[in-house]
Every structure is written in C-alpha cells, then in structure tokens.
Amino acid sequence: MPLTRHVRPIDLKSVIMNKKKVVLQLIAEQSVMPLYYYPDKEVSTQVLKALYNGGARLVEYTNRGENALENFLELRKVTDKELPGLKLGAGTIKNKIEAKQFINEGADFIVSPGMMEEVADVAHDNGLLWVPGCMTATEIVRAEDAGADLVKLFPGSLLGPSYVTAVKEIFPDLMFMPTGGVELNEDNLSAWFKAGVVAVGVGSKVISKEVLAKKEYGLIEEAAARALMMVKNIKLKIAASNG
C-alpha cells in the first residue's frame, strides 16, 4: 500500500504578514528611503542602479508623471534581472485604480501622499505594506484604524522632530518616517532619530535635478552611500548613548 504524503496547507495569512514584515524590517535596517521620478525610462533605470550600487535595497518610485507606470514596469524588470534583494515600491498613489495598476506591475509596497482608505484596502488585499502620508493626529488615528504599521509624516520640514516626540506618546504602536525637507546633515538627522523615527524619506537631497540633468549617476551612488553611512553611524551613537 503506497504511503500517503501529508501536505501542510498554505497559511495565506502568514505569507501575507511575512511580505509586510520583510519590507518593514528592511525599512528599519536601511533607515533611509530614497524616492524619485524622472520622465525618461533610461534615466530612471540608471538612477535605480546607482542607488543600488550605493547600498540601497529599498527604493520608492513616485507616480508623478504620465510615464510613471511604464517606467515602473521597466524598473521592475531590471530589478528582477539585475538587482537581487531590492524592494521596489510605488509612491504618490492616490486612488485604488493607481494602486491596482502598480501592484499588477509588481510593486513591493505602496506609499500614499495622504490618507486614502481605498488605497489601503487594495494594498491589504494584496498582502502589501501600505504607508500613508499624514500631518495631523486625526489623520494618524485614521491611518492606524485602516491598518497602517508605518506612517509617512509629510511635510517633514514643517512638522519637525518635536512633533514626532509628541505623537509617539499617543501612538506607541506605530512607526514614523518623515519625508519632505529632511536635511542630510548630522544635526538634522540626529534630531529625527533621537525623536524616534524609524527612517527618513529623501529625494532631491540624494537625487538632485542638476545631477539628473547631467546624468552624473556616479554622484547619485556616492550620495546614497554617504546618506546610508551617516544614518548608520548616527543610530549607533544614539544606541550607545542610551546604554
């Protein structure tokens, strides 16, 4: 009589949670979220490679132009073929149609500029991390109720590190990431991480318009590596000072 092999059923909920957990862990480890958009597909591809070569394993490509979806598809292909370990997310996702489009093209996570519950629903249904942009306590409450684990504080330059200190006491189970106006210098970054952010989002400070116009991808690689190292050293100093 042949032996019957017992096959354990797939725990779909566990698989979904693991996908979110992997991205969240990577965000906490890298602590810098590079984000950008450029209308030219080849330039977008070279920027992604430069960020990867600089050490980034988590990148947000923003939906800020008519070529964004087509470019994202190319970036997905390049990532799968040449950039192992990279998690590629879609940003500036403002409605469920955009969310579905970018998820269908392989987005690893979804970032919204504001509190869009319909985007949250699509992301959750597909087992992806959803990061909403919030500015007020009311928006953060809504984000938490909608299942957010990580909240993007936008614009970071307007809110400041002291805002993080205040809201973390009210929302101890949420992680925060300021984006917009974060300065890549030790004083500014130290203030953010001492306040308790898990990461910072950076765009033009790493990928400037001037560098893009001149296609100086080596400078992007250097800027990414410098930002990652600076944050790593700052976090080590904070950990040492905390005992």
Q: What is the mean pLDDT of residues 194-200?
A: 97
Q: What is the pLDDT of residue 12?
A: 43
Please tell me the least confidently modeled range out of 1-10, 98-107, 142-151.
1-10
> How confident is residue 242, by pLDDT bands cut at 50, 70 and 90?
confident
**Mean confidence (pLDDT) of the chain:** 92
Would the pLDDT of 139 be above 60? yes
* Structural domain boundaries enclosing 111: 17-139+200-231
> How confident is residue 13, by pLDDT bands cut at 50, 70 and 90?
very low
Q: What is the mean pLDDT of residues 7-36?
A: 77
Residue 167 falls inside a structural domain: no
Residue 61 falls inside a structural domain: yes
Counted domains in the chain: 1
Q: What is the mean pLDDT of residues 156-166?
A: 94
Residue 187 falls inside a structural domain: no
Residue 156 falls inside a structural domain: no
Residue 182 falls inside a structural domain: no
DSSP character at residue 110: E
Residue 237 falls inside a structural domain: no
Q: What is the pLDDT of residue 17?
A: 54
Q: What is the mean pLDDT of residues 88-94?
A: 98
Instruction: Tell me the C-alpha distance between 70 and 61, whole Å.
Output: 12
Buried b (16+ CB within 10 A) or exposed e, 48-85: bbbbbbbbbebbbbbbeeeebbebbbbbbebbeeebee
Residue 46 falls inside a structural domain: yes
Kindly report the CATH number assigned to the domain that includes residue 69.
3.20.20.70
Residue 35 falls inside a structural domain: yes
Q: What is the pLDDT of residue 57?
A: 98
Please tell me the least confidently modeled range out of 13-22, 80-89, 106-115, 174-183.
13-22
Q: What is the mean pLDDT of residues 40-66?
A: 97
> How confident is residue 19, by pLDDT bands cut at 50, 70 and 90?
confident
Q: What is the pLDDT of residue 10?
A: 42
Q: Bigger pLDDT: 91 or 157? A: 91
Helix %, strand %, coil % for the chain, to 5?
55, 15, 35
Q: What is the mean pLDDT of residues 219-230?
A: 97
Instruction: Tell me the C-alpha distance between 72 and 55, whole Å.
Output: 20
Share of the chain above pLDDT 70, in %: 93
